[in-house]
Chains A and B, each alone.
Chain A
Amino acid sequence: SQQGEEDPQALSIQEGENATMNCSYKTSINNLQWYRQNSGRGLVHLILIRSNEREKHSGRLRVTLDTSKKSSSLLITASRAADTASYFCAGGSRLTFGEGTQLTVNP
């Protein structure tokens, strides 16, 4: 069973635009992580936000967490073609993944 559900399932934007992806999860978590997966580099950890944090930044990434709504969002600013990938949220003691958002950034 999936812990997280990402929304939207697919997102297509132009280079330079911002991309926002949302994740809802089912059970209580200690932290929530975002991963990126593309055919070239496999599954790569992007950022981890703890349950007592509300927002976290890393470079062009901004993650928010709302534990009362059991939801998180990932914002990628000034997107690049190289950001094209599937993005997953994951959490829970067994790091349960959602089904992912497929992001396409058009040059």
Chain B
Amino acid sequence: GAGVSQSPRYKVAKRGQDVALRCDPISGHVSLFWYQQALGQGPEFLTYFQNEAQLDKSGLPSDRFFAERPEGSVSTLKIQRTQQEDSAVYLCASSALQVPLYEQYFGPGTRLTVT
């Protein structure tokens, strides 16, 4: 079956531009997560949705980062006024039920480069 998909796969933005990253989770998965992965590091948690409710956004690094999942399926991570330190791979994952008991299925990621 279809896995988690993300688009675009690659994004180059000039410093100061806004970007929007899309995640299509596995159909029917209740939980959706966003992670940021810097080069050579493990993924770092950004935010978590259960259906359309954003239950945890404590990992968002600044108020320039905003995520939404209005209908409980597709999610968008928006970064306003991008900075060079935002350059990273942004990973989306979905899970059938609630954390922390269940494995997460990851998308291929969006590699964001801010120039």
Q: Does B26 contact A (CB under 8 A)?
A: no
Complex: how many Å from CA A53 to CA B36? Answer: 30
Interface of B, secondary structure class, is loop
Say whether B106 contacts A88, CB under 8 Å. Answer: no
Least CB distance, B105 to chain A, in whole angstroms: 7
Q: Does A93 contact B (CB under 8 A)?
A: yes
Say whether A48 contacts B91, CB under 8 Å. Answer: no
List residues 80-101 of chain A with CB under 8 A from any CB of chain B.
88, 90-100
Say whether A99 contacts B42, CB under 8 Å. Answer: yes
Say whether A95 contacts B104, CB under 8 Å. Answer: yes
Binding site for B on A (CB under 8 A): 2, 4, 29-31, 33, 35, 42-45, 48, 88, 90-100
Digitize B100-113: 1 where CB-to-A-CB distance is under 8 Å, 0 elsewhere: 11111111110000
Interface size on B, residues (CB 8 A): 25
Known: A42-B109, A44-B106. A97 touches B99 (CB 8 A): no
Q: What A residues does B59 contact at CB under 8 A?
A: 94
Least CB distance, B20 to chain A, in whole angstroms: 21
Partner of B43, one of A29, A31, A43, A92: A43
Complex: how many Å from CA A98 to CA B101? Answer: 18
Complex: how many Å from CA A35 to CA B42? Answer: 10
Q: Does B18 contact A (CB under 8 A)?
A: no
Q: What A residues does B107 contact at CB under 8 A?
A: 42
Least CB distance, A28 to chain B, in whole angstroms: 11
A44 to B, closest residue via Cβ? B106
Least CB distance, B46 to chain A, in whole angstroms: 9
